[in-house]
């Protein structure tokens, strides 16, 4: 048995890889090689690192099923010659799945949060990939930001240029959180007051109901106003004058909103 421990690339779609970091470049070579080999592969890594996209790249014509859809997966394994199984860690009966793959001699590429789910994994998967988080692939992050900006501009008819100096990437869910963050930032860059009010209306629509709601939700207005004011004017004295508040009132509002500043 050959077990290959690799670092892999975040895949933007089924045929396009980000190959900026050294890890991505090496993974692209390996994935391309795997497309020509009849071996089973297990791709492990956190959410949003590109496991599913990489699996689709290796087996572009195979059906794709989530391991949590157990009955549907069983039916597919009875007739398929190849398959992509995502989220193998969510399988309610992993042993049965592995036995069917082996018995029916199915070519499979699977994804999972980890590669130690079952003692029989090594018997089924001769090649294993471990895809690192984006925090360890900074060059890929920069490239993805550009891709997501272009996607947002095209989707929403914008012309956004992101201020990268003050942009701190949200990599908590890797590409998922990064894409969402870039999309929101691009929309906010062009948002109108009416649209902003509609967003707040939507947020508040199912939250109102107590006799202290005005006080409870005042931070939605006060916190961003104070935060950007302090950043812009660098002085509480100057900001109090701009906002038409006395200094004591401003200090109290800063203290009331300290969790959001």
Domain extent at residue 125: 5-132
CA distance 67 to 89: 8
Residue among 232, 230, 233 at smallest CA distance from 222: 230
- For residue 57, what are its two tokens? 């790249």
Shared domain check, 252 and 239: yes
If one counts the domains in the chain, the total is: 3
Residues 22 and 101 in one domain: yes
Whether residues 29 and 118 share a domain: the answer is yes
Shared domain for 67 and 186, answered yes or no, is no
Specify the residue for token string 């869910």. 173
pLDDT surpasses 60 at 10: no
- Cα–Cα nearest to 133, from 185, 178, 68: 178
The percentage of the chain sitting over the pLDDT mark of 70, rounded to a whole number, equals 93
Choose between 18 and 227: higher pLDDT: 227
Helix, strand or coil for residue 28?
helix
Torsion of CA 146, 149, 153, 158, to 10 degrees: -110
Question: What pLDDT shows up at residue 101?
Answer: 94
Q: Three-class SS of residue 95? A: helix
Residues 49 and 149 reside in one and the same domain: no
Query: Residue 92 above 70 pLDDT?
Result: yes
Contact between residue 261 and residue 230 where contact means Cβ atoms under 8 Å apart: yes
Say yes or no: 96 and 56 in one domain: yes
Q: Are 247 and 236 in contact (CB under 8 A)?
A: yes
Residue 83 lies in a domain: yes
pTM: 0.77
Flag whether pLDDT at 114 surpasses 50: yes
d(CA 175, CA 64): 20
**Within a domain: 203:** no
Averaged pLDDT for residues 17-27? 81
Cα radius of gyration rounded to whole Å, the chain: 25
Burial of 255 (C-beta count, 10 Å sphere; 0-12/13-18/19+): exposed
Same domain, 16 and 124: yes
Selection from 25-34, 90-99, 158-167 with the highest mean pLDDT: 90-99
Note whether residue 9 is domain-resident. yes
Domain ends where: 132, 148, 182?
132
Q: Please report, for the domain that includes residue 30, its CATH number.
A: 3.40.50.300
Distance CA(59)–CA(79), nearest Å, equals: 17
């Amino acid at each position: 048995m050959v077990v290959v421990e690799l670092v892999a690339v975040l895949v933007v779609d089924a045929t396009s890889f980000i190959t900026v970091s050294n890890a991505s470049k090496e993974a692209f070579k390996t994935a391309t090689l795997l497309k020509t080999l009849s071996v089973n592969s297990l791709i492990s890594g956190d959410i949003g690192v590109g496991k599913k996209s990489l699996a689709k790249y290796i087996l572009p014509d195979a059906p794709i099923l989530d391991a949590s859809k157990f009955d549907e997966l069983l039916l597919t394994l009875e007739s398929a010659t190849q398959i992509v199984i995502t989220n193998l860690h969510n399988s309610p009966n992993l042993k049965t799945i592995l036995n069917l793959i082996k018995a029916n001699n199915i070519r499979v590429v699977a994804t999972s949060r980890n590669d130690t789910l079952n003692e029989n994994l090594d018997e089924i998967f001769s090649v294993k990939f471990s895809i690192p988080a984006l925090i360890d692939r900074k060059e890929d992050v920069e490239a993805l930001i550009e891709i997501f900006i272009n996607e947002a501009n095209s989707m929403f008819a914008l012309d956004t240029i992101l201020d990268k100096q003050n942009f701190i990437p949200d990599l908590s869910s890797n590409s998922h959180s990064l894409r969402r963050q870039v999309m929101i930032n691009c929309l906010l860059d062009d948002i109108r007051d009416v649209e902003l009010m509609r967003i707040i209306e939507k947020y508040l629509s199912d939250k109102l109901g107590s006799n202290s709601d005005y006080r409870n939700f005042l931070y939605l207005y006060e916190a961003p106003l104070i935060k950007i004011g302090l950043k812009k004017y660098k002085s509480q004295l100057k900001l109090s004058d701009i906002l038409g508040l006395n200094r004591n009132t401003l200090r109290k509002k800063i203290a009331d909103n300290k969790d959001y500043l």
